[in-house]
Amino acid sequence: MNSLIESINITKKFGESESAVVAVDNVNMSIYEGELLVIMGESGSGKTTLTSLLGCILRPTSGSLIIDGTEVDYDSEDLSMIRREKVGFVFQLFNLIPYLTALENVIIAMDIAGIKEHEAEERAKELLTQVGLPDRMDHRPSQLSGGEQQRVSFARALANNPLVVFADEPTANLDSRNSASIMQLIEKLCNERRTAFAVVTHDERLRTDADRILEMQDGRIL
Ligand SMILES: Nc1ncnc2c1ncn2[C@@H]1O[C@H](COP(=O)(O)OP(=O)(O)O)[C@@H](O)[C@H]1O
Ligand SMILES: [Mg+2]
């Protein structure tokens, strides 16, 4: 199977000497094309740090990362390119821009160099339709439910057609009904697209539908 992102002995330490915390401890793992990967583990076990490393938001203390066949050079300028083009992120708190509509929140995430304005708008509309919001495109975040805001976040994460979408506890701030619908959305998107989804969650149902489950403890994968 085609490995999209691979970590080799990746380690992240916070702080110095005595008080240092090894948040991610020598992890070797891969994310494969089209898979639904679920990452579980207790609070503090390193899930957020690991996904941030895999998505190039954090620089590792040691170890290396291969994305799309190329080793990441942390001293070069391509980190922002990777973040923009190769990965997408969905967070607990939706993180939408409050004064922009759903449509504008998706368009603004697009790497629009080389595509026409109306093309970007068409793509954003397609994505919002795919996440089930064909009739909410002109709403601002405050006019949307939590579940709907999180759907916009998924559309935004997919804006540049990334290899992998990381979702870090995407239902932590949703009620059970909205959580269930977001979990269904993730399964649907994973089935409809070649994008891989790496989801940090405690949700039991997603666990049963996952292609693979990783359990973290003390910065390591069990
Ligand atoms: N920026 C930081 N500075 C210092 N320690 C951190 C930082 N981020 C995370 N940690 C520590 O690293 C460990 C793993 O944290 P985290 O990756 O957030 O775990 P999880 O997402 O599984 O709850 C925890 O002990 C946490 O306190
Ligand atoms: Mg976390």
Alpha carbons 174 and 193: distance in angstroms, whole number: 25
Q: What is the pLDDT of residue 35?
A: 96
| Chain segment 194-213, per-residue pLDDT in tens | 999 999 998 888 888 899 99
Bridge partners (DSSP) listed for residue 41:
216
Residue nearest to atom 11 of ligand 1 (CA): 23
Q: Is the CB of 44 under 6 A from ligand 1?
A: yes
Model confidence at 2, pLDDT cuts 50, 70, 90, reads confident
Q: What is the radius of gyration, based on Cα positions, of the chain?
A: 17
CA of 212 to the centre of ligand 2 (A): 19
Q: Is the CB of 45 under 6 A from ligand 1?
A: yes
Residue nearest to atom 1 of ligand 1 (CA): 14
CA of 155 to the centre of ligand 2 (A): 22
DSSP 8-class letter at 58 = S
Alpha carbons 48 and 131: distance in angstroms, whole number: 24
Record the tokens describing residue 157, joined without a space.
Answer: 């994460």
The reply to whether the predicted model has a pTM over 0.85 is yes
Q: Is the CB of 201 under 6 A from ligand 1?
A: no
List the one residue out of 138, 169, 143, 137 whose CA is nearest residue 155.
137
Residue nearest to atom 2 of ligand 1 (CA): 14
Place of tokens 């070797």: 28
Residue 27 pLDDT > 90: yes
CA of 50 to the centre of ligand 1 (A): 10
| Chain segment 167-187, per-residue pLDDT in tens | 999 999 999 999 999 999 999
205-213: Cβ within 8 A, 24+ apart: 205/180, 206/36, 206/38, 207/38, 207/40, 209/36, 209/183, 210/36, 210/37, 210/38, 211/35, 211/36, 211/37, 212/35, 212/36, 212/37, 212/38, 213/37, 213/38, 213/39, 213/40
Q: What is the mean pLDDT of residues 25-53?
A: 97
Q: Is the CB of 23 under 6 A from ligand 1?
A: yes
